[in-house]
Structure 1
Amino acid sequence: MILIKGKRKMRKKLYFVLAIFLILAPFLTGCNNANHVKTLRVGVRDNIVNFGYLNEISGKYYGLEVDIATELANRLGYGNVEFTTVTPDNRKQMLLDGNVDCLIACYSISDTRIENFDFSPAYYTDNICIMVENSSMIEKIEDLQNKKIGVMSGSNTAPILAIKLQEIGMIQGELGSKVTGVEALSDTDEATVFNGMYFKKENNYNALSDDLEVGTVDAVAMDGAITKTYKNDERNILDFNVSEQQYGVATQKGSELSAQVSEKIQEMLDDGTIEVLKDKWD
């Protein structure tokens, strides 16, 4: 009799534990899922108005590329997006080292970059522009012969512009390696010097703008989208077509993510999402 009562008590305890488990199961599952929410780590710019800009007060990023990243993550099934500031100097290494999953950072598609990374279809087309101070009296590209042009360190602006200037005879010398385009007389962290042109390097656009204002350089060359931030009534854009720049999402070479990103970016182009976002930030 005592044994039977003991078994009944044991069954009641088991039923009680089972009932508690069934009640808590959804919450336990929810916690487990929360711990496994996928996060897409995206490298973006923090100082390019309308593309990637960090509000230091709110700590939030804003701009076209931020919105593209958010929509891309959603379509890929990621629950979160983690933005990391990258610069022209460090963005390549950040992606190579796996510190970010992709770059959506005014990163133009080029032959040399395709050697290292996969790129999505282009989501934005831009052009390299050359900006001067009105007071400089520089009115055409030929006026910059043997002058100094400011460019961003880590960008491909200098080699692209050098090829164009070599084509019109402003830089003397033969075409060099695939990387440099035109053989440079010297190439350091501070400047790249060609026979007929000097490119002064800076690591941020504010410094480039300051160089132009005080006359350290005679002109600055940068993507048109970026030029808009620093253009004012005292500055002018030269009528000279340098090169078309197409921005794409860069991912690690041969990664599983590459094909997925390309598919979703193409989908966003086809259904008009990219165009809507561009209109929003234009």
Structure 2
Amino acid sequence: MHGSGKTIRRPRRWALAVVALLACSALMLLGGCTSGIAGDKGTLKVGVRADIIGFGYLNEKTGKYYGLEIDIATEMASRMGYGDVEFVTVTPDDRKEMLSEGKVDALVACYSIADSRKKNFDFSPAYYNNAVVMVVQNSSLIDQLSGLKGGTIGTMAGANTAPMLAQKMADEGFSDGEVRSANEDNTDVQFDNYHLLQYASYQELSDALEEGLVDGMALDGAIAKTYMNDERHTLDDFSIDPQEYGVATQKDSDLSEPVATTIQSMLDDGTIDQLIDKWD
């Protein structure tokens, strides 16, 4: 996944990994080492995306999920001793409630680590870095952010892109950051130099760009790859500081520490790097 995201690279401790593997193998012969694959903790229910190719994508014909985050969740559950993983589709609109209400045990769903979210959830170490980009149609002839002045920008409702966009525009002097008008759910907001519309799904956002309802769409670069084509490009002079994706669990839950420890071990031994390379 070059260009739109950067992995959190960690030193590959291959020697230690080999020693540990050999030691575990020896102990298994003596019945003293158990494998996570043969876990006895039952099923771990994980909230994932179903619409992001390369991260979490549901093949509706087969009912199977595919992607980097699917593999991460599967390996994580195995190492934690779970015998099975149940994947549950979540969206930016409902994932917070799904985790808060215990409908899923964890989120591995392009969920960026943010201070506002840490008030309600615990996060593992980041397993993926990703920046927000701005996508426009080639036919718009817009090649710089300044070309969007007076225009309409679309984002995904439920994501944290909209507030970050507002801050970025203010920091860049593109806008004074003051809201001129807004509807009740803030899906239609007017600023001084641009109009913000938020959509219920990325597909609707992409369609709005194609239909000319918005002049640009701001979204995570990794997600943007799903909706790119020969008729679109990203603006080279626009990027919002990298977003770090982490596994979210309920605040102070029994899962929080094991999840964090397991993801860290997957970073340390190079597993995350290998999975990212697989889906690159």
Does 2:182 correspond to 1:186?
yes
* Residue aligning to 2:272: 274
**Which residue, out of 243, 247, 253, partners 2:245?**
247
Please state how far the C-alpha of 1:233 moved relative to its aligned partner.
1.2
**Which residue, out of 42, 55, 79, partners 1:38?**
42
The TM-score with structure 2 as length reference comes to: 0.83
Q: Deviations over 1:182-210 (max 9, x none)?
A: x6742543323323222111111111111
**Which residue, out of 131, 136, 139, partners 2:135?**
131
Q: Counterpart amino acid of 2:182?
A: S
Question: Superposition pairs for residues 80-119 of structure 1, below 5 Å?
Answer: 80-119=84-123
* Residue aligning to 2:209: 212
Q: Report the 3-state secondary structure (helix = DSSP H, G, I; strand = E; otherwise coil) of the residue aligned with 1:78.
A: coil
**Which residue, out of 224, 230, 255, partners 1:227?**
224
Query: Which structure 2 residue ranges, 5 or more long, are not aligned?
Result: 1-37
Bigger drift between 76-85 and 142-151 goes to 142-151
Q: Aligned partners of 2:148, 2:44: CA distance in 1, in Å?
A: 44
Bigger drift between 247-256 and 199-208 goes to 199-208
Q: Aligned partners of 1:114, 1:184: CA distance in 2, in Å?
A: 30
Q: Aligned partners of 2:136, 2:180: CA distance in 1, in Å?
A: 24
Does 2:148 correspond to 1:144?
yes
Q: Which has the larger radius of gyration?
A: 1
Structure 1 stretches (4+) deviating beyond 4 angstroms?
A: none
* Residue aligning to 1:172: 176
Bigger drift between 80-89 and 233-242 goes to 233-242
Kept in 2, the 8 Å contact 1:160–1:243? The answer is no
Q: Aligned partners of 1:267, 1:37: CA distance in 2, in Å?
A: 20
Q: Aligned partners of 1:281, 1:81: CA distance in 2, in Å?
A: 20
Q: Deviations over 1:94-115 (max 9, x none)?
A: 0000100000000000111111
Question: Superposition pairs for residues 20-31 of structure 1, below 5 Å?
Answer: none
Does 2:195 correspond to 1:198?
yes
Matched-pair identity in %: 56
Bigger drift between 88-97 and 184-193 goes to 184-193
Q: Aligned partners of 2:256, 2:180: CA distance in 1, in Å?
A: 34
Q: Report the 3-state secondary structure (helix = DSSP H, G, I; strand = E; otherwise coil) of the residue aligned with 1:256.
A: coil
Q: Aligned partners of 2:164, 2:182: CA distance in 1, in Å?
A: 16
Q: Aligned partners of 2:177, 2:66: CA distance in 1, in Å?
A: 43
Q: Counterpart amino acid of 1:172?
A: D
The TM-score with structure 1 as length reference comes to: 0.82
Kept in 2, the 8 Å contact 1:269–1:275? The answer is yes
Query: Which structure 1 residue ranges, 5 or more long, are not aligned?
Result: 1-33, 175-182
Q: Counterpart amino acid of 2:145?
A: I
Greater fraction of residues in helix: 1
* Residue aligning to 1:159: 163
Q: Aligned partners of 1:134, 1:256: CA distance in 2, in Å?
A: 50
Q: Report the 3-state secondary structure (helix = DSSP H, G, I; strand = E; otherwise coil) of the residue aligned with 2:244.
A: strand
By relative contact order (CA 8 Å, sep 6+), the higher-ranking structure is: 2
Q: Aligned partners of 1:115, 1:187: CA distance in 2, in Å?
A: 26
Kept in 2, the 8 Å contact 1:187–1:193? The answer is no
Q: Report the 3-state secondary structure (helix = DSSP H, G, I; strand = E; otherwise coil) of the residue aligned with 1:81.
A: strand
Q: Aligned partners of 1:173, 1:211: CA distance in 2, in Å?
A: 24
Q: Report the 3-state secondary structure (helix = DSSP H, G, I; strand = E; otherwise coil) of the residue aligned with 1:107.
A: coil
Q: Counterpart amino acid of 2:92?
A: P
Alpha-carbon spacing, 1:125–1:211, altered in 2? closer, same or farther (3 Å): same
* Alpha-carbon RMSD: 1.5
Please state how far the C-alpha of 1:242 moved relative to its aligned partner.
1.7
* Residue aligning to 1:265: 263
